[in-house]
């Protein structure tokens, strides 16, 4: 499997105190651990188990994820922005890999 690639959508600018909507999507099989291969052996679980978003170092939103979340996990949530800065998005894989993405916003 190719390295999971995140997609993040948020506005480039906002007014101070505005509540913005953030959408995130990442490619990942989200192997549930419930499936079996052709020989009838269980396919081991491998999912993204944690997603988090922080803004200028402050936690905004996070999600503890179980195997019932669909492949290519999607999260939509909000953030209240008081100042210009950078959002940092982090996805943590069961295998220990961490996928990151950053996006900045200008408050006018």
Partner 1 sequence: MRNRYATVGLGALLAFATALPAAAEPVDDELVIDGQTMTVRTAAPEGHPFDELLSGWLFREAETRELEADSFQNPGMLYVDRGADIWNTVDGTMGKSCASCHDDAADTMKGVGANYPKWDADAKRPINIELQIDKCRVENMGAEAYKFDAPDQKALTTYIKHQSLGTPVAVDLSQGDLQSWWDRGKEMYYTRTGQLNFACASCHEANSGQYIRADHLSQGQANGFPTYRLKQANMVSLHNRFRGCIRDTRAEFPKAFSDELMALEVYVTWRGTGLSVETPAVRQ
Partner 2 sequence: MTINRRQALGLTAGAIAFAAAGLPGRPAWASPEETQKRIAEFTGGKTPETGRLTLTAPEIAENGNTVPVSIEVESAMEGDDVVEQVMILAEGNPNPDVAVFNFSEASGVAAATTRMRLAKTQNVIAVAKMKDGSTFIDQKEVKVTIGGCGG
Beta bridge partners of 99: 91
Binding at 27: pick from partner 2, partner 1, none (beta carbon under 5-8 Å per type): partner 1
Task: Supply angle C-alpha 81, 76, 65, rounded to 5.
Answer: 115
Q: Retrieve residue 60's tokens.
A: 């905004």
Partnered with residue 7 across adjacent β-strands are 25
Please compute, for residue 77, the number of CA atoms within 13 A of its CA located in the half-sphere on the CB side.
17
- Pick the closer one to partner 1 by CB: 35 or 80: 35
Give residues 22-51 in contact with partner 2 (rule: CB under 8 A): 32, 34, 36, 40
Among 6, 27, 31, 61, binds partner 2 (CB under 8 A): 61
CA dihedral 28, 5, 79, 71 (to 10 degrees): -10
From 27-35, 54-62, 86-94, 100-108, give the range in contact with partner 1 by CB under 8 A. 27-35
90 binds, among partner 2, partner 1, none (CB under 5 to 8 A by kind): none
CA triplet 11, 77, 32: central angle to 5 degrees?
A: 125
Q: Does 23 bind partner 1 (CB under 8 A)?
A: yes
Q: Toward partner 2, which CB reaches closer, 2 or 19? A: 19
- Residue ranges that bind partner 2, judged by CB under 8 A: 19-20, 32, 34, 36, 40, 55, 58-71, 73-80
């Amino acid at each position: 499997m190719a390295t999971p690639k995140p997609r993040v959508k948020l506005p480039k600018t906002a007014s101070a105190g505005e509540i913005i909507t953030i959408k995130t999507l990442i490619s990942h099989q989200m192997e549930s651990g419930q499936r079996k291969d052709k020989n009838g052996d269980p396919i081991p679980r491998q999912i993204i188990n944690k997603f988090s978003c922080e803004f200028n170092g402050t936690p905004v939103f996070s999600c503890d994820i179980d195997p019932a979340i669909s492949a290519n996990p999607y999260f939509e949530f909000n953030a209240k922005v008081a100042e210009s800065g950078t959002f940092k998005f982090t996805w943590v894989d069961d295998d220990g890999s961490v996928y990151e993405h950053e996006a900045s916003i200008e408050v006018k």
